[in-house]
Amino acid sequence: MARMTLDAFTGRVAEAAGARLVALLLYGSAARELGAESAMNTLLIVESVDDELFRRLSEPVTEWLRAKHPPPLVLTDQEWRSSADAFPIEYDDIRAHHRVLAGRDPWRGISVQRADVRRQLEQELMGKLMHLRQAYLAAWSRPKRLAETVHDTRAGFLTMLRAVLRLVGRPVPAAADALVRDAAALIGFAPDRLAEPAAYLDAVTRTAGYVNRMERTPS
């Protein structure tokens, strides 16, 4: 059986959600057009969520999972419109690189405040730094496990680097290598050694310190 395509998934989800569909978005690396192998991350916004919606979506989502794609994030329209202050980094990242697959453009009236971005960024970087140090302490004598930790957390760190560049008003490159290079020049870490556990931890440490020192007043 052929794997479900994005177009087929879009049609099936729109049919299953019916009148309660607000929007279905593709976001992340696939929307940045960084290659056919990129993960197809999707966000489904609906008027309401209940057992009937899950029942109707179960079959197309199961086929989507078989195609090795993650299930959609699901929010009600009210949740979407009231959560920009809770997830400002994610909202900025999705807004910067997304495609509306079905429904209407959900961004009308949505604004992200700089102070909210800086606050979330500081919290998440410090949390990431503490968990990394904990993982490094537990696996310091196991290089393979350390390398897996770097690999597993890299995508989240790149999201934070994009947020840092946006916060200071710099352009955000779509390609990961260019993103790391520009962020490294701003923050002061080695851009070409992030696969090495020690250099990766240093980059996260320096990024957390940079954000902690940022002026806290909104621009």
pLDDT in tens, 150-172: 999 999 999 999 999 999 999 99
Mean pLDDT of the chain: 93
First and final C-alpha spacing in the chain: 53
Predicted confidence at residue 217, as pLDDT, reads 46
Amino acid present at 197:
P
Contacts of 85 (CB under 8 A, 6+ apart): 113, 116
Would you state the structure tokens that stand for residue 210, as one six-digit string? 């940079």
Element (H, E) at 12: helix 6-17
- Domains of the chain, CATH where assigned: 6-103 (3.30.460.10), 114-213 (no CATH)
With contact defined as beta carbons under 8 Å apart, do 173 and 179 qualify? Answer: yes
pTM: predicted TM-score of the whole model, two decimal places: 0.85
